[in-house]
A and B are shown apart, each in its own frame.
Chain A
Amino acid sequence: MRLLTVVLLGLCACAADVAVRREGQTFRISGSATGADIALYVGAGDVPPVFGSLRTDGADVLFQPRFEVPKSMACRVVVGGRVFPFPAEQTAPLARTTRVEQVYPTTSEIPANQLKFYVKFSTPMRPGEAWQHLRLLDAQGHPVDLAFLEIDQELWDRDGQRLTVLFDPGRIKRGVLPLSENGPALVAGQRYTLVADAEWRDERGVPLAAEFRKSFTVVAEDRTAIDPAQWKLTLPKAGTREPLAIHFGEPLDAALVLRLITLPAVAGQPVLGPEEREWRYVPKEPWKPVRYQIAIDRALEDLAGNKVGRLFDVDTFERITTKPSREAAFLSFRIE
């Protein structure tokens, strides 16, 4: 047997000269028999080879992985059964710089039928792990079980920087089983803390710089639809660029206030007032002494998901007869 091995090696002298060199993300295989199988592996056990492509470069063959194989991972190139290991390299860990910038609503008093939170991060995050890192704790520090609608397809914005966290609607809606059996997720008079733990990873795979906590007190349920007729306006003077302000009398949904309240005739910038209780508008040009009209899309919501003229859960008296109006509501005013 030994003799046979020697003879075979003699016949394939070229195989002994095989060398593999890593050039950044490319693996250069020199001296390989052209027919040899070439594959790159990472990970242990029965794993398939890394996806990638082969091309020739002079007498060499180059393997280019489909995706970057980090140098912090050990890998091995196998050429015709011979293993060329590339041990993991020590790399400096990336700095933990990503933070939770804000959680909306910013108010510290939240209705018992609160519908959602927005968690805004300083940089894009990695989807798919929110439910491992986000918790709601009661006053004793115990997690509130199944408080949120934990769907796999997490509700991120396009940039991956803002996560929408819905409370389980089954524990808000009246007359459904989860509410009658589990009770509400939030109880009026109690204090809670929303926690985003520091192990939540950003787009780079780097954990947050710090844990984030937001504590709040739960107040009575809000079962009142939004009524723009009850809003108060602070009107600027003509010829100035003072802000126009609408005071809602309650906090409204931060994202929807900025998107669904518009003053199309005036170029300018809307901003949220403290605790999302106000919409302020600063025009680019001074106000003119004319009549203006603000449009309010009826999809605007308060913290409990009540819309303009329509409650989150409607008492239907068994039949649904009307389709909710999609038309805007309007607020008219004159600048003097």
Chain B
Amino acid sequence: MLKKWIAAVTLTAVSAFAAPGTGLVTKKLELGSAGPLAFGPAGILFVGDSANASLIAIDTGDRAANPGAGNIELKGLNQKMAAALGTTPDQITVQDLAINPVSRNIYFSVSRGTTPLILKLDVAGKLTELNLDSISHSRVSLPDAPADVKDARGNNKRMETITDLGFAEGRVFVAGLSNEEFSSSLRSFPYPFVAATKASSIEIYHGAHGRFETNAPVRTFTTYMVANKPHLLAAYTCTPLVTIPLSELTAGNKVKGKTIAELGNRNRPLDMIVYTKDGKDYILMANSSRGVMKLPAAKLETYQAITAPTEKQGVPYETLTELKGVQQLDRYDAKSAVMLMLDGGSLDLRTVALP
């Protein structure tokens, strides 16, 4: 046993090698921050690193299916993470979770105090830290990175915070919000990342509300086929649900989303997934104060764009009031979702049958 430990320690010798054609290089990964997560091609985990104004692709090497993986019911995830990291739960912030669709292991972006980390909960319930000392990864910078926009005093205070990530049609979509000028952006990066490629920056106007448009911040999004064409389904901070054809999301383009649902006031969208049940597609959305909403996703193209602010227009929705305190959700398998729920001071993780 001891020999094994020693071997494990000595194996961390520094090496850097590139996998041809993928842009992935094995070396130490320095995270400035660990925000939104999303899985892409098999085993590739995308991490939003706002502090470094970059998007990172990590090859987790996690590509083996676990067919026997069962349901999860884990109470006090924050207490367990704190214990593993040698600290108290108040030092732990879980930023996001993503489930590896192949292995069903769950990955978390976590801050311990101010230190960013990626933790993995395997299907057996074992928590480990993704060792970044020598890991296959690639990184692409967001345009207008802070280094380019110093103020006249050479200060460097502008940051673009990545609010959500998604992978579809070979592209990573990144929603961001600036901490200075009121601008939100949606960018797309082809994956594998191409070093010299500038990301497409797309301005989305949320102009369906009467006659006023603003550059509206996208809070969370997912992708979905509408009329056989891939679309982005985006929820804005003021909770309308908007569809945008992916084909329109090209560099420098100005896109106007179509508002298909108003999800009510006093409500902030947190996370969203699409799933199929009994042959029908649904959208499941976690919200800050309205619980979890379920919307039919069939024939979204047939809904008229909403142009006047009226409660419950457009795609109808039902609120699943029994699901309280949902902070994050992701698809687990064909029949269930994993939800991270806050109950008092305890962050609980559980699988929930798709409604």
Task: Give A residues with C-beta under 8 Å from B.
Answer: 34-35, 37, 40-43, 45-56, 61, 65-70, 73, 75, 115-116, 124, 126-128, 145-146, 149-160, 162, 164, 166, 168-170, 173-178, 180-182, 203, 205, 253, 255-256, 258-262, 269-270, 299-301, 305, 307, 312-318, 320, 323
Chain B interface size, under 10 / 10 to 19 / 20 to 34 / 35 or more: 35 or more
Tell me the smallest distance from the CB of B166 to a CB of chain A, in Å. Answer: 15
Residues of A within 8 A of B239 (CB): 170, 177-178
- Are B264 and A127 within 8 A (Cβ)? no
B101 at the interface (CB under 8 A from A): no
- Are B181 and A301 within 8 A (Cβ)? yes
Nearest-CB residue, chain B, relative to A52: B86
Nearest-CB residue, chain A, relative to B151: A259
Which of A34, A67, A146 is the most central at the interface, judged by chain B CB atoms within 10 Å of its CB? A67
- Are A175 and B83 within 8 A (Cβ)? no
Select B84's contact among A51, A205, A259, beta carbons within 8 Å.
A51
Select A255's contact among B76, B113, B157, B213, beta carbons within 8 Å.
B157
Nearest-CB residue, chain B, relative to A314: B213
B163 at the interface (CB under 8 A from A): yes
Which of B35, B80, B88, B212 is the most central at the interface, judged by chain A CB atoms within 10 Å of its CB? B212
Select B182's contact among A75, A146, A260, A301, beta carbons within 8 Å.
A301
Q: How many A-B residue pairs have CB under 8 A?
A: 235
Nearest-CB residue, chain B, relative to A161: B157
Residues of A within 8 A of B159 (CB): 155-158
Tell me the smallest distance from the CB of A75 to a CB of chain B, in Å. Answer: 8
- Are B177 and A158 within 8 A (Cβ)? no
If over half of A's interface residues share one DSSP class (helix, strand or loop), that class is named, otherwise mixed; here it is loop
- In chain B between 55 and 105, which residues have their CB closer than 8 angstroms to a CB of chain A? 76, 79-80, 82-88, 91, 93, 95
Residues of A within 8 A of B79 (CB): 43, 45, 47
Select B35's contact among A46, A153, A270, A299, beta carbons within 8 Å.
A153
A271–B214 CA distance with the chains assembled, in angstroms? 30
B161 at the interface (CB under 8 A from A): yes
Q: Beta-carbon contacts of B187-211 to A below 8 Å, as 1s and 0s?
A: 0000000000000000101010111
B334 at the interface (CB under 8 A from A): no
Known: A153-B95, A178-B238. A258 touches B152 (CB 8 A): yes
Select A42's contact among B86, B128, B151, beta carbons within 8 Å.
B86
* 28 residue pairs from A and B, CB less than 8 Å apart: A37-B1, A42-B83, A42-B86, A43-B79, A43-B82, A50-B85, A51-B84, A65-B86, A126-B114, A127-B114, A146-B266, A152-B270, A153-B50, A153-B95, A153-B161, A153-B177, A154-B161, A174-B212, A177-B239, A178-B265, A178-B266, A205-B91, A255-B157, A259-B158, A301-B181, A312-B214, A314-B213, A315-B212
Residues of B within 8 A of A315 (CB): 211-212
A52–B159 CA distance with the chains assembled, in angstroms? 33
- Are A151 and B114 within 8 A (Cβ)? no
